[in-house]
Structure 1
Amino acid sequence: MVPSGHPVTALSDAAASPAEIDTITLGDLAPDSGWRRPVLLDRELIVLTTSGHGLAEVDFRALPCRPGTLLRIRPGQVLRCALPRLDATVVRWHPEALHGLDVDADEVPIWFQLAGEDEDAIINEVSQLTVDASRHRDTRTARSLLRHQLSVLLLRLSMLPSGAGRTARPEEETFRRLCREVERGYQASRRVEDYADRLGCSVRTLTRACLAITGRSAKQVVDERVALQASRLLAATDEPIARIGRQLGFTEPTNFGRFFTREVGMSPGAFRAARERPTPAPMVRPRPPVDGRIDVHQA
């Protein structure tokens, strides 16, 4: 189902080998019909809610959704849609699909409620991309067509008034640079000194920027990123807890357990046991998005 007056269909065969760019329904992403567990995503997603009212939990944050709500979800994040049921069209792609095109998917807001002409334009773009993804497959011309349609969609989304044209403060740029470095290195180091060296600045500069943007220190930002990844893996996979700890740089399970309990407020085992509850699992305070935009919960 879609908003009245805007017919959008989606591919339903999620079992087929994934194309570079395609569209599916929200239900196709679910590990089961009840979304008892979050799903760990491995592709870039734009989710356009088409009917229903409810919550979508992205990295354990509950985001309100109704017809016209748009979500931008990155690979590596976890998604779970709480009841009541939501229907949505999902545009998904591999990052290399945009190679060589002048578009930055990170400029798209992580949550936006479409309305008016913006809603009409975005739904039309999604509708045409969906039709062409279904009709035209596996030819060079079709792949080029879909790449450019996705580029146009992302450019339109990046121009939404949630942040377009706003000049970032110096602290925001420093914070973004830190977040990018943390993404690359959090499995190897939780030391702020290491990130300061890589960025060519002082620990004090990083801490001042993090306090200005998040109200938390640079060390807290780094630790929260590690705790977030641990929470994703505990909730969405069956990896042994000790192995998850080792992946995140903890040589001793007891050290990982103490770290996680301090950050999240419960042990890794208790967190995993709670993952099938119908309400969002407890989670560390989420850090702002890397692009520095303010989302619906920070406005």
Structure 2
Amino acid sequence: MVSSGQLAPATDAAPAPTPTGIQTLTLGDLGADPAWWRPVLIGSDHLVLVTGGHGTLEVDFRPFPCRPGTMFRIRPGQALRRTDALDAVMVRWSPHALHGLDVDPDAVPTHTQLVGEDEEAVINEVSQLVVDCRRHRGAAGESLLRHQLAVLLLRLTLTTAPTGGTEPRTFRRLCREVEHHYRYTRRVEDYAERLGCSVRTLTRACLAMTGHSAKQVIDERVALQARRLLAATDEPIARIGRYLGFPEPTNFGRFFSREVGLSPGAFRATGGRVAVPARIVRPRPPHWTDRA
């Protein structure tokens, strides 16, 4: 059992890591349950490249259409589930793998369909990583893998033009703050103070990016983490509620039911296999949502 206020960390099975933490694996290496009844909580950074089949891959309970050339950037803590017979190569790395290299993994699009020259180049680089992870050891081999990963991430970054303007920047800053503090406060005023701006500025940025208020964006992050933990772990519901800042189980139940449309117990009973209500916020990057 985990201690009060803490939950077991996200984990995902895999071959033994290299010293840099760079590995290549397949979707089948992640899920011990071949039926993928419950999602897998991803414990480290991943790229997923679909190489065969047509269907869907579910990221944080949202299904995405997939075919060869579909690429995902999966962040630690996200819930991943395969719902169709898809083949995919995965590249995993630990944070120190990119230390000292001029690359921002968070600039990589969360979901994109590669085509043409981009698809060919990415497939070649992923294929070479698979080979080199198997063949090369030692300091020189680790350096090679680190630079190959950096090139792959940079190439993927270039497939999507950056979004400029004041409101997208403000929204991204808010998302980063929420990612670090959602367990401790859901008050927009607290985030405005941390960011040195007004509540009105945050609300305007969130409305421009998502069509929802800053408060709704914050609550969605909390509800998303609740869905992840309810569907992918066996932690008691009351403990999940405490972890997310709800000392009283009844308060957590009311919050979850309002956001998701089901009680925590009912949601868990479905394995998270329920449609996401239209009212749930789907903000854009940087941390917990999709970017086309």
Deviation at 1:117, TM superposition (A): 1.1
Match of 1:135 in 2: 135
1:214-252 deviations in whole A, cap 9, x for unaligned? Answer: 110000000000000010000111110000000011010
Number of residue pairs the alignment of both structures matches: 276
- For the residue of structure 1 that corresponds to 2:100, the secondary structure is coil
Could you tell me whether the CA contact under 8 Å between 1:271 and 1:281 is conserved in 2?
Answer: no
- Residue 112 (structure 1) shift: 1.2
Per-residue Cα deviation, 1:119-163 (whole angstroms, up to 9, x for no partner): 1111110011110001123x2221111100000100111111xx3
Is the Cα–Cα contact under 8 Å of residues 176 and 292 in structure 1 kept in the other structure?
no
Partner of 1:267: 263
Distance 1:254 1:81, change over 3 A: same
Counting only pairs closer than 5 Å after superposition, residues 250-265 of structure 1 correspond to structure 2 as 250-265=246-261
Residue identity opposite 2:187 in structure 1 = R
Structure 1 residue 15, shift from structure 2 partner: 4.9
Q: Distance in 1 between matches of 2:227 and 2:29?
A: 23
In the alignment, does 2:185 pair up with 1:184?
Answer: no
- Is the alpha carbon distance of 1:245 and 1:291 closer, same or farther for their aligned partners in structure 2, counting shifts above 3 Å? closer
Q: Is the 8 A contact 2:183 2:244 kept in 1?
A: yes
Q: Which residue of 2 aligns with 1:78?
A: 79
From the superposition, tell whether residues 256 and 111 of structure 1 become closer, same or farther in structure 2 (CA, over 3 Å): same
Deviations 1:148-193 (A, max 9, x none): 0000100111111xx32x4512100000000000011001101111
SS of the aligned residue for 2:271 comes to helix
The alpha-carbon deviation at position 292 of structure 1 amounts to 11
Residues 73 and 205 of structure 1: is their aligned pair in 2 closer, same or farther, counting only changes over 3 Å?
A: same
Q: What's 1:123 paired with?
A: 123
The percent identity for this pair of structures is 66
Letter in 2 for 1:195: Y
Question: Does the 8 Å contact 1:129/1:149 carry over to 2?
Answer: yes
Distance in 2 between residues matched to 1:127 and 1:176, nearest whole Å: 33
* Superposition deviation, residue 294 in structure 1: 7.5
Distance change >3 Å, CA 214–CA 167, structure 1 → 2? closer
- 8 Å CA contact 2:170–2:205 kept in 1: the answer is yes
Residue 104 of structure 2 aligns with which residue? 104
Offset at residue 291 of structure 1 (A): 7.5
Quote the Cα distance in structure 2 between the aligned partners of 1:292 and 1:173. Answer: 16
Q: Find the residue that maps to 2:238 and give its secondary structure.
A: helix
In 2 relative to 1, CA 42–246 (structure 1 residues): closer, same or farther, beyond 3 Å?
A: same
> Quick check: 1:235–1:271 contact (8 Å CA) kept in 2?
yes
Question: Residues 222 and 15 of structure 1: is their aligned pair in 2 closer, same or farther, counting only changes over 3 Å?
Answer: closer
SS of the aligned residue for 1:24 comes to strand
Summarize the Cα distance change of 1:44–1:293 in structure 2 as closer, same or farther, 3 Å threshold: closer
Give 1:52's aligned residue.
53
Structure 1 alignment gaps of length 5 or more: 1-13
* Cα distance per residue 1:9-40 (max 9 Å; x no partner): xxxxx554333001001111123111111000
2:157 match? 158
Once residues 221 and 15 of structure 1 are traced to their aligned partners in structure 2, the CA distance between those partners, rounded to angstroms, is 33
Give 1:65 deviation, angstroms.
0.4
Could you say what secondary structure the match of 1:287 adopts? Answer: coil
Structure 2 equivalent of residue 4 of structure 1:
none
Aligned residue number for residue 203 of structure 1: 199
Q: TM-score, normalised by structure 2?
A: 0.90
Distance 1:292 1:175 in 2: 13
The ranges of structure 1 where at least 4 consecutive aligned residues each deviate by more than 4 angstroms after the TM superposition are 291-294
Residues 62 and 280 in structure 1, CA contact (< 8 A), matched pair in contact too: no
Contact map agreement 1:22 1:92 (CA 8 A) in 2:
yes
CA root-mean-square deviation: 1.7
SS at match of 2:92: strand
Instruction: Check the 8 A contact 1:37/1:236 in 2, yes or no.
Output: yes
TM-score (norm 1): 0.88
Secondary structure of the equivalent of 1:275? Answer: coil
Flag the 1:209–1:89 CA change in 2: closer, same or farther, 3 A.
same
